[in-house]
Amino acid sequence: MTENAYTTTKGKEADVYSYGVVLLELISRKKALDPSFVEGTDIVNWARSAWEEAGVVDEIVDSELAGEISNSEVTKQVTKVLLVALRCTLKDPRSRPTMRDVIKNLYADGKSST
């Protein structure tokens, strides 16, 4: 996993990182080391770069899902999940949220759409 390239810390911080990678995979429908990425790029670097350049989730979300997020409320929710994923995959493990914080954030996001 690419987490090992950033730190030798194992445990909770690595679990949070992995969870962030899974969220990115779900949103983009790309693999962690997708063949479509430029050599040496992983899903974390790709998503972070796309977000920083465009600032819109449309550049990251899978094209098949794009039609489903045309609703502005859904777009807002997908963007919040993306931001959680990016926080989970910060290079500095101490800067990452705890899983408790991640769950609270995702749960609160889910409640606001009902």
For 49-104, write each residue's pLDDT tens digit.
999 999 889 889 998 877 777 778 888 889 999 999 999 999 999 999 999 999 99
Q: For residue 83, what are the CA distances in angstroms to 8, 47, 64? A: 24, 10, 20
d(CA 52, CA 41): 15
CATH code for 3-112? 1.10.510.10
d(CA 69, CA 58): 9
**Residue 7 predicted with pLDDT over 50:** no
For 23-38, write each residue's pLDDT tens digit.
999 999 999 999 999 9
* 32 HSE (CA, 13 A, CB side): 12
pTM of the model: 0.83
In the chain, domain spans: 3-112
* Residues 101, 22, 72: CA angle, nearest 5 degrees: 75
